[in-house]
Amino acid sequence: MIRLVPFMLGAHEALVGPVVACLERTFGERVEVRDPGFDPAAALDERRGQYDSRRFLRLLLDDAHDAPRVLGMTGVDLFIPVLTFVFGEAQLGGRAAVVSTFRLRSEPYGIVSPPERLLERAMKEALHELGHTHGLVHCDLADCVMRSSTYVEDIDAKPARFCVDCARGVAPPGAASA
Amino acid sequence: MKRNPARLLIVDDEFSMRDSLAAWFQEDGHDVVAAESAEQALRTLDDHRFDVALLDIKMPGIDGVELLERVRVIDPAIRVIMITAYATVETAVRCLKHGAFDYITKPVDPDELTRLVARALEDKQHSEGVTPAPPPSPEPERRVERERGVADAIIGESPAILHTLELIRQVAATDATVLIRGESGTGKELIARAVHRESPRRYFSLISVNCGALPESLLESELFGHEKGAFTGALYRRKGKLELADGGTIFLDEVATLTPKSQVDLLRVLETHELNRLGGHETIKVDFRVVCATNEDLEALVADKRFREDLYYRLNVFTIEAPPLRNRVSDIPLLAEHFLRRAAPTVGRNLTGFSPEALERLCAHTWPGNVRELANAVERAAIVAAGPRVELHDLPPLNGGGHPAAQGSLEDVERQHIQRVLDEHDGNITRSARALEVDRATLYNKIKKYELRR
């Protein structure tokens, strides 16, 4: 079971349903949506005007102590201290991940793209970060969602699915290998 | 799957920096050791070797620059990247004088950090005479999947399509520029994908650009990218498609529609394999293969001076003709069955195939919109067919001459004709409206009225 915790999503609230369906389809697990039991403002770095994704991971872990895996989904701008921003973050081989839709929009980049592109990007980022919680590292293959993305165009270039090797890494224990 | 994990040493007294750096590179699959002080780093270096070290400059005790000197004595091969919160020219010069590979100011853009470490690793491998590992040879399972993938994508057994597949195989292994020519709807993009997937560049991206879909000003930013603030609305830095194709293949569709200025810009990149983002000063080296496509008579455009001759010769190295469907009639049953298998589940139908009469009608039509038109016709038939087979009356009106059928109401004829023109022009409204001799607004209204596909 995966717990999805949407918070501060604003106009992107509508993405939650399709992302849940995508996760259930891909991981073959039930996805439960819960409101956050924490104050997201605790992760705000006032100097940077951004939210520390590492603090969100800790808040999510405390909040969802009874869930085997938890994904936070937010609309605020995330960072880790060494970087200007991140699309999302996860505990490698851990329980918690967080993704943000803030930098997934096309407009700030001057890109013209169809409206469904935002949802596709959100799905890919959710799959990618949850892949990290399964212990997967970045994949070299262009046709794998675990390929590293530092630009939205990188996200657009990869599919919303795992390659054969990475799919084995996220398969439930005991699942027959393809 | 990760190919080349490296050994990284991170030294920073600030936990959050050290921790976030380590996490970032662990996600890349690298082996990371983090130290909270220069002293701890030096102890680690007693019995460990690293490919790249990232050192914070300002640390209590032994500072980063002094640590840099000591690290370089212990292991001259290590590439050291210095990290500072406040970059000054003096600090930069000092670091570089002491053998630092480069330095960065935190916080740094994710792409910049990843790229810098990749460059440092590449530099170390070159100096050690190590050729970067070639892409892994695919496992048997993946190889079968890949071969099946191309075969699935390009369906047919006719002499015309077998010749096309042979050309793809011949050219894919090389790095030659490929020009794909053919009418609309013949599957030029599929051929481009097949060339990429069969090439040694298949482990990198295939990036597609439809040169006819964007005005010149946007196309420039699309191809070359831009820096933050390069123009109004450019809030963030953005990579261009040419940069994204680094290591892989760039597919330039409708290349004949490039404006004269874009032709000059593209030619320069093709010649130098270097580019500058809009508003940027950094020259970026890019390594990509070019595959392009057109349905226009490039030679006539060159003669009319509407397409640069030098660019024409640079693109026209190896040509693959995408055969029109009327020249591969024997493939129609196979293609129709394929499209039916694809469409039936999406419309919730369990359809087993076509009646002989329906197949005969499909084979008799001349398909001016080529494979795309056939796919649309089969999809439409899958929606209306009661099953278990697609019957003749399930097909949209078709004839042997490729003209709209004379049967049906005037509205039916109009709907089919507009759909056909849209298909022929890849859904491009401007060109379809021009072909239909109506204005764009009228065409939009008709599309809405008849619920047409674009």
> Is pLDDT above 60 for B166?
yes
Query: CB of B85 within 8 A of CB of B58?
Result: yes
The pair of three-digit structure tokens given for residue B374, joined into one six-digit string: 């056939």
Please check whether residue B32 touches A, CB under 8 A. no
**B113 and B244 fall within a common domain:** no
Where are the strands (E) in A17-135, listed by range? 31-33, 44-45, 50-52, 69-74, 78-79, 88-90, 96-100
Split at pLDDT 50, 70, 90, the class of B324 is very high
Return residues 122-151 of A near B (CB < 8 Å): 132, 137-142, 144, 148, 150-151
Report d(CA A16, CA A35) in Å as an integer: 12
pLDDT for residue A75: 95
Element (H, E) at A37: none
Last residue of a domain, one of B97, B127, B157: B127
In whole angstroms, give the CA distance from residue B385 to residue B343. Answer: 12
Dist. CA B288–CA B286, nearest whole Å? 6
Show the CA angle centred on residue B441, arms to residues B440 and B447, nearest 5°.
90
Question: Of A148-152, B166-170, B232-236, B394-398, which gets the smallest average pLDDT?
Answer: B232-236
Choosing from A89, A120, A125, A129, which is the catalytic residue?
A129
The pLDDT tens digits of the residues spanning B170-225 come to 999 899 999 999 998 899 999 999 999 888 888 778 888 888 777 777 788 888 88
Please tell me the predicted confidence (pLDDT) of residue B36.
93
- B156-161: average pLDDT: 89
A12/B315 Cα distance (integer angstroms): 43
Phi, psi of B226 (to 5 degrees): -150, 160
Helix (H, G, I), strand (E, B) or coil at B79: strand
Summarised one tens digit per residue, pLDDT across range A90-106 is 999 999 999 999 999 98
In this prediction, residue A49 carries a pLDDT of 93
Instruction: Read off the tokens for B171.
Output: 């050219």
Give the CATH number for residue B373.
1.10.8.60
Contact B27 A150 (CB under 8 A): no
3-state class (DSSP) for residue B295: coil
| Confidence check: pLDDT of A155 > 60 | yes
Q: Is B207 on the interface with A (CB under 8 A)?
A: yes
Is the Cβ pair A92, B239 closer than 8 Å?
no
Q: Are residues B74 and B153 in the same domain?
A: no
Taking the C-alpha atoms of residue B193 and residue B210, their distance in angstroms, rounded to an integer, is 14
Quote the CA–CA distance of B258 and B215 in Å, as a whole number.
9
- Contact at CB, A81 and B27, closer than 8 angstroms: no
Q: Are residues B156 and B304 in the same domain?
A: yes
Do both B270 and B368 map to the same domain?
no
Q: How confident is the model at residue B147 (pLDDT cuts 50, 70, 90)?
A: very low
CA dist., res. A44 & res. B231, Å (int):
30
In this structure, are B352 and B205 located in the same domain? no
Q: Count of CB atoms within 10 A of residue B144's CB?
A: 11
Q: Of B303, B321, B339, which residue constitutes the final position of a domain? A: B321
Chain A residues within 8 A of B16 when measuring between CB atoms: 54, 81
Of the listed ranges A15-24, B31-40, B223-232, B248-257, the least confidently predicted one is: B223-232
Is B110 at the interface with chain A, CB within 8 A?
yes
Residue A87 CB partners (closer than 8 Å, separation 6+): A78, A99, A100, A103, A104, A125, A149, A155
Domain assignment present for residue B36? The answer is: yes
Residues B315 and B294: their CA atoms lie apart, in Å, by 11
DSSP assignment of B391-429, as one string?
-GGGSPP--SSSSPPS-S-HHHHHHHHHHHHHHHTTT-H
Does B200 lie at the interface with A, CB-CB under 8 angstroms? no
Across the interface, whether the CB atoms of B236 and A109 are under 8 A apart is answered yes
**Which of chain A's residues have a Cβ under 8 Å away from the Cβ of B28?**
137-138, 148
Q: For residue B135, is it within any domain?
A: no
pLDDT band at B11; cut points 50, 70, 90: very high
Distance CA B57, CA B54 (A): 10
Residue A92 is predicted with a pLDDT of: 94
B201 to chain A: closest CA residue? A142
- Asked if B238 lies within 8 A of A154 by C-beta distance, the reply is no
Q: Quick one: residue B156, left, alpha or beta (phi over 0 = left, psi -120 to 50 = alpha)?
A: left
In a domain, B132, yes or no: no
A85 contacts in B (CB within 8 Å)?
110
Mark whether B49 and B103 lie in a shared domain: yes
Q: What is the DSSP string of B167-207?
A: HHHHHHTS---EEEE--TTS-HHHHHHHHHHTSGGGGS-EE
* Min Cα–Cα distance to chain A from B159, Å: 31
| Residue B133 belongs to some domain of the structure | no
Whether residue B126 has pLDDT greater than 80: no
Q: Could you tell me if the ipTM is greater than 0.85?
A: yes
B22 touches chain A (CB under 8 A): no
Question: Measured at the alpha carbon of residue B11, what is the angle toward residues B5 and B12, in degrees to the nearest 5?
Answer: 130
Q: Name the percent of chain A lying above pLDDT 90.
A: 82
Check pLDDT > 90 for residue A145: yes
Residue B134 lies in a domain: no
Choose among B284, B294, B282, B287: nearest CA to B270. B287
Does residue B168 form part of some domain? yes
Give residue B140's pLDDT. 37
CA–CA distance, A158 with A141 (Å, rounded to integer): 9
> What's the CATH class of domain A2-135?
alpha beta
The mean pLDDT value for B340-353 works out to 83
The pLDDT, as a whole number, for residue B129 is 64
Q: Are B3 and A165 in contact (CB under 8 A)?
A: no
pLDDT at B445 (0 to 100)? 78
The mean of the pLDDT values for chain B is: 84
Is some CB atom of chain A closer than 8 A to the CB atom of B58? no
- CATH for B73: 3.40.50.2300
* C-alpha to C-alpha distance for A4 and A17, rounded to whole angstroms: 10
Describe the strand order of the beta sheet including A31-33 as a list of residue ranges. Answer: A31-33, A2-7, A69-74, A96-100, A88-90
Q: Name the band, by pLDDT with cuts 50, 70 and 90, for residue A37.
A: very high
How much is the pLDDT for B267? 92
Contact B1 A140 (CB under 8 A): yes
Which of B270, B296, B321 finishes a domain? B321
Are A139 and B218 a contacting pair at CB < 8 A? no
Q: What is the dihedral of CA B187, B191, B192, B195, to 10 degrees?
A: 170
Are both B317 and B332 inside the same structural domain? Answer: no
* Domain hosting residue B353, numbered range: 327-450
| Cβ pair A166:B239 closer than 8 A | no
Residue type, B250: I
Distance from the A26 Cα atom to the nearest Cα atom in chain B, whole angstroms:
18
Select from A82, A87, A152, A161 the residue whose CB has the most chain B CBs within 10 Å, as the one to mutate to test that interface: A82
Quick one: average pLDDT of A7-34?
A: 95
Q: Which H or E run contains A29?
A: none
User: What residues in B contact A83, CB-CB < 8 Å?
Assistant: 20, 24, 107-110, 113
B contacts of A138 (beta carbons < 8 Å): 2, 27-29
Q: Is A129 a catalytic residue?
A: yes
Residues B213 and B152 in one domain: yes
Interface test with A, best of B2, B10, B25, B115 (most A CBs within 10 A): B2
Residues B158 and B32 in one domain: no
- pLDDT for residue B1: 58
Q: Using the beta-carbon criterion (under 8 Å), do B108 and A83 form an inter-chain contact?
A: yes
In this structure, the answer to whether residues B260 and B146 fall within a common structural domain is yes
Report chain A residues whose CB lies below 8 A from the CB of B2. Answer: 137-140
> Does residue B318 carry a pLDDT above 90?
yes
> CA of B206, closest CA in chain A: separation in Å?
8
**Beta partners for residue B291, in sequence order:** B178, B251
Three-state SS for A83?
strand
Q: β-pairing, B238-239 with B225-226?
A: antiparallel
Specify the CATH number for the domain of residue B149.
3.40.50.300
For the whole model, what pTM was predicted? 0.59
Domain extent listing, chain A: 2-135
Determine, for residues B244 and A84 on separate chains, whether the beta-carbon distance falls below 8 Å: no
**Residue B256 counted as domain residue:** yes
- Whether residues B40 and B158 fall in one domain: no
Residue B42, CA atoms < 13 Å, CB-side half-sphere: 15
Q: Give the distance from residue A150's alpha carbon to the nearest chain B alpha carbon, in angstroms.
A: 5
Same domain as B299, residue B260: yes
Q: Determine the 3-state secondary structure of B11 from DSSP.
A: strand
Alpha helices (H) along B233-290: 241-244, 260-272
pLDDT above 70 coverage of chain B, percent: 90
Instruction: For residue A110, give how far its alpha carbon lies from the nearest alpha carbon of chain B (Å).
Output: 6
Q: Closest chain B residue to A81 measured between Cα atoms?
A: B17
